[in-house]
């Protein structure tokens, strides 16, 4: 329950810090860190407009998307506090809850009958498919290292005691940052501000969403960012005392948001044909983590 509350709090300012960082990096003052949430609340007060070509799938997809991410958050622990949903192998449920929500967003885009949104849905599904091995290799590697298969037990058992273990923690942090960027359709995979047909991915999928539905989708993206920030923070919290847990959590969230802002400020969006190659690199980095775990466990023959 503690992790759920903190993630929801972090989601209120995460995107605001990203936008403020990008503004400062380009020499502008920028808006306040709560401006994105104010814009979302404006959307919540508006009614949704549905095309006559859409069915009930288009209407329920944003709610399913939001619910799937919220359920996935319930599996994330915070230091000594387990998630509300915690059992052996819960990280598998976590991954496929996110896939469930992504599936409804994809078929929602297809339901509009727009070839433009179908193009975005095709790209989104491809990127999600390619990033999945990296997640499972990283989590499987740490499950092998700790002998546990749940988020809470893995993170509470994880200890750093050698140069290799610190390297593994750093590589895992990098992989999860990139997974968060890909899953939330940010630079260098996708530019959330572009409306150029050749480069749009996620934005193409939600062109027909409006009002409350659009606000729900935008806030779910904020929650996903804070969710991945919570996973990254667990790599640093371990079994520390409770008095250090919350400050480290928010320090990691702020650092993560600033990192996202800097990446988007100084990296150009990849050409669409290069995105699969970049995502495959994450799988290669994940394999390095796996081999590092084998070294620590002395299982190389």
Instruction: Quote the domain boundaries for residue 278.
Output: 2-21+51-296
The answer to the question of residue 46 being in a domain is: no
| pLDDT tens for each residue of 149-205 | 888 888 888 777 666 778 888 889 999 998 988 888 777 777 677 666 666 777 778
Q: Record the tokens describing residue 65, joined without a space.
A: 């998307």
The answer to the question of residue 248 being in a domain is: yes
How far apart (Å, rounded) are the C-alpha atoms in residues 186 and 198?
15
Give yes or no for residue 64 having a pLDDT over 80: yes
| pLDDT tens for each residue of 198-247 | 667 777 788 788 889 989 999 998 999 999 999 998 888 866 777 788 88
DSSP assigned state of 150: S
> Who's near 163: CB < 8 A, 6+ residues apart?
none
DSSP assigned state of 186: -
- pLDDT score at 66: 94
How far apart (Å, rounded) are the C-alpha atoms in residues 128 and 262?
23
How far apart (Å, rounded) are the C-alpha atoms in residues 214 and 48?
8
> Who's near 273: CB < 8 A, 6+ residues apart?
none
Look at residue 23 and give its three-state secondary structure. helix
The answer to the question of residue 191 being in a domain is: yes
Cα separations in angstroms, 178 against 55, 87, 102: 34, 26, 18
**Count of other CB atoms within 10 angstroms of residue 233:** 28
> Who's near 36: CB < 8 A, 6+ residues apart?
15, 16, 19, 218, 222
Residue 81's DSSP bridge partners are: 78
Give yes or no for residue 70 having a pLDDT over 90: yes
- pLDDT score at 293: 87
Q: Are 227 and 253 in contact (CB under 8 A)?
A: no
120-129: burial string, b at 16+ Cβ within 10 Å, e else:
bbbbbbebbe
- pLDDT score at 226: 92
Q: Are 185 and 193 in contact (CB under 8 A)?
A: no
The answer to the question of residue 202 being in a domain is: yes
| pLDDT tens for each residue of 244-269 | 888 888 999 999 999 988 888 887 77
The answer to the question of residue 285 being in a domain is: yes
Q: Are 284 and 174 in contact (CB under 8 A)?
A: no
Give yes or no for residue 84 having a pLDDT over 90: no
Instruction: Round the average pLDDT of the chain to a whole number and report it.
Output: 85
Q: Are 210 and 46 in contact (CB under 8 A)?
A: yes
DSSP assigned state of 184: T
Q: What are phi and psi of 242, to 5 degrees?
A: -60, -30
Number of domains in the chain: 1
The answer to the question of residue 32 being in a domain is: no
How far apart (Å, rounded) are the C-alpha atoms in residues 232 and 238?
11
How far apart (Å, rounded) are the C-alpha atoms in residues 180 and 60?
24
**Count of other CB atoms within 10 angstroms of residue 254:** 17
255-294: burial string, b at 16+ Cβ within 10 Å, e else:
ebbbbbbebbeeeebbeeeebeeebeebbebbeebbebbe
Q: Record the tokens describing residue 267, joined without a space.
A: 């990296």
- pLDDT score at 196: 63
| pLDDT tens for each residue of 102-156 | 999 999 988 888 877 888 888 888 888 888 999 999 999 999 888 888 888 888 8
Beta strands in the chain (DSSP E): none
- pLDDT score at 160: 72
The answer to the question of residue 45 being in a domain is: no
The answer to the question of residue 148 being in a domain is: yes
């Amino acid at each position: 329950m503690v992790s759920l509350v903190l993630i929801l709090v972090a989601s209120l300012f995460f995107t605001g810090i990203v936008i403020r960082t990008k503004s400062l990096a380009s020499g502008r003052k920028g808006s306040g860190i709560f401006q994105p949430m104010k814009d979302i609340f404006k959307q919540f007060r508006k009614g949704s407009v549905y095309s006559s070509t859409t069915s009930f799938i288009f209407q329920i997809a944003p709610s399913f998307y939001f619910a799937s991410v919220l359920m996935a958050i319930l599996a994330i622990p915070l230091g000594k506090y387990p998630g509300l949903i915690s059992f052996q192998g819960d990280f598998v449920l976590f991954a496929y809850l996110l896939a469930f929500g992504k599936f409804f967003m994809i078929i929602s885009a297809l339901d509009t009958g727009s070839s433009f949104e179908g193009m975005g849905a095709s790209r989104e599904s491809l990127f999600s498919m390619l990033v999945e091995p990296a997640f499972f290799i990283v989590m499987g590697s740490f499950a092998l290292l700790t002998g546990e298969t749940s988020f809470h037990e893995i993170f509470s058992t994880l200890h750093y005691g050698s140069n290799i273990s610190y390297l593994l923690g750093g590589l895992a942090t990098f992989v999860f940052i990139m997974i968060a960027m890909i899953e939330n359709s940010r630079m260098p995979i996708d530019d959330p501000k572009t409306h150029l047909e050749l480069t749009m991915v996620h934005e193409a999928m939600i062109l027909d969403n409006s009002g409350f539905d659009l606000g729900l989708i935008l806030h779910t993206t904020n929650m996903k960012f804070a969710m991945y920030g919570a996973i990254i923070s667990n790599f640093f919290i371990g079994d520390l005392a409770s008095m250090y847990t919350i400050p480290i959590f928010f320090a990691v969230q702020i650092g993560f948001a600033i990192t996202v802002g800097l990446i988007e400020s100084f990296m150009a969006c990849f050409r669409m044909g290069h995105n699969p190659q970049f995502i495959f690199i994450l799988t290669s980095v994940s394999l390095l983590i796996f081999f590092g775990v084998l070294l620590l466990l002395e299982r190389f023959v």
